[in-house]
Amino acid sequence: MAIVCVVCHQEKRGAPVNDDLVIRSIRRIKKGIAGITTRYAPALMRFLPEHFVPQNNTLVVCKDCMEEHKKRRGDFEKNLVRFGALGFIMWALLVLFGRTLALAFFGFVIFLVMLLFALPYYHPSLNQTMTAEVAKGAGKGKKTKK
Ligand SMILES: [Zn+2]
């Protein structure tokens, strides 16, 4: 288990990111794939691309990548809101004009699919409480700046 920056993918220390739904899902999928492979085709394990092997790394944003992180997170949030709003409008229209439960449900599915469109822009958020702790911990050893 290593501490890896989510932007530059190097083993560096930094501010930890949140284990959110997307990261947890990716971990679960990786674990599933690795589990099935180990169980039914252990010989294939060494052919499994590194990206599919659960690393359980601690994900952080290193100091050098903080600017890039802010940009990527901002882009993701913008797209999530954009696609979310679009999906919500379509859902609302289907509920208002469709007036059937089936269409309302279909609208909800559209809403979820629209949210998935933001996924390619996905970038995790920083864990604020842990970030504060890390900052505090890092400050302990150093003398305070004037
Ligand atoms: Zn980095």
Domain ranges of the chain: 3-139
Q: Which residues surround ligand 1, an ion (CB under 5 A)?
A: 5, 7-8, 62, 65
Q: For a pLDDT cut of 90, what percent of the chain falls above it?
A: 71
pLDDT score of 111: 96
Model pTM above 0.75? yes
pLDDT score of 52: 79
Average pLDDT, the chain: 88
Report residue 120's pLDDT band, with 50, 70 and 90 as the boundaries: very high
**pLDDT tens digits along 36-65:** 999 998 988 888 887 778 888 999 999 999
Q: What separation in Å is there between the alpha carbon of 14 and the centre of ligand 1?
A: 8
> What whole-number distance in Å separates Cα of residue 114 and Cα of residue 62?
31
pLDDT score of 1: 78
Q: Which alpha helices (H) appear in the chain, and where do they start and end? A: 21-40, 66-93, 101-116, 128-141
Cα 137 to Cα 30, 48, 140: the distances in Å are 32, 38, 5
| Confidence check: pLDDT of 121 > 80 | yes
Which one of 20-34, 72-86, 119-133 scores highest in mean pLDDT?
72-86
| Confidence check: pLDDT of 13 > 60 | yes
Q: What separation in Å is there between the alpha carbon of 11 and the centre of ligand 1?
A: 8
The 10 Å Cβ neighbour count of residue 94 is 21
Q: What separation in Å is there between the alpha carbon of 26 and the centre of ligand 1?
A: 20
Q: What separation in Å is there between the alpha carbon of 84 and the centre of ligand 1?
A: 29
